[in-house]
Amino acid sequence: MPRPVIFDLFHTLVDGANSERDRVVGEMAIMVGVVPEALVAAYHATWRDRMTEWDVADTVRILAGRLGGAPTEEQVARAAAHRRELAARLLDSVAPETLAVLDALRADGHPLGLISNATAETAEAWPSSGLARRFDVAVFSCEVGLAKPDPAIYRAAAERLGVAPSDCVFVGDGADGELAGAATVGMAVVRTIEHNDSDPAWDGRALATLGELPALLHRI
């Protein structure tokens, strides 16, 4: 059987859009009555909590409170909706060429999995995205309470695919130490730099574009 392939999401399948994220959080700050730069900084500082514990409304409520704000539930809901719109927009930004690669892998018989360090709004938007139907399993940090590079999140994805981690190929840009985490559980690792050069020190297989992946898999 062709080997299962497990992908990272942001900066691998879609651009992470870091500047757009910051812009949207700044707009959310105005909605809840706190300083935009302060809320952006608070978002960056609490990434692990946001990706493993808080939902989008919790995040707005907690961080606004820490910054001295006292938003109403209506304000929280408005800001949370703004963030949800961003999540859906980013998932819809996947390039046709990327979808074609995924379709080719499926046609070749590769089971496909996803592991994403992602906040709750991304997991909520996932089922309606064009990506979702191309994957057999998707593991989001916000749903399992684990984040890469914790070995347990890789094992969870492999288990859902019904295979051993050592049977899998992991493809990611390398953010959050994800490549080393995948290697720790025995996965073959492929680094992609198409959207971002996140782990330039990684010494292993690398792709300039995702379109190179099907040919590489034949050689692994």
Span 58-94, pLDDT tens digits: 999 999 999 999 999 999 999 999 999 999 999 999 9
What one-character-per-residue DSSP string does the chain give?
Answer: -PPPEEE--BTTTB---HHHHHHHHHHHHHHHTS-HHHHHHHHHHTHHHHHHT--HHHHHHHHHHHTT----HHHHHHHHHHHHHHHHHHHTT--HHHHHHHHHHHHTT--EEEEE---HHHHHHGGGSTTGGG-SEEEEHHHHT--TT-HHHHHHHHHHHTS-GGG-EEEE--GGGHHHHHHHTT-EEEEE-SS----TT--S-EESSGGGHHHHHHH-
Domain boundaries, given as residue ranges, for the chain: 5-15+94-219, 18-91
- pLDDT-derived band at 1 (thresholds 50, 70, 90) equals confident
Tell me the two tokens of residue 42: 């608070």
pLDDT at position 219, please?
87
**What is the CATH number assigned to the segment(s) 5-15+94-219?**
3.40.50.1000
Span 102-155, pLDDT tens digits: 999 999 999 999 999 999 999 999 999 999 999 999 999 999 999 999 999 999
pLDDT at position 138, please?
98
Half-sphere exposure of 129 (CA within 13 A, CB side): 27
Span 167-220, pLDDT tens digits: 999 999 999 999 999 999 999 999 999 999 999 999 999 999 999 999 999 887
How many angstroms from the chain centroid is the CA of residue 171?
12
Query: How many Cβ atoms from other residues are within 10 Å of residue 219's Cβ?
Result: 6
- pLDDT-derived band at 41 (thresholds 50, 70, 90) equals very high
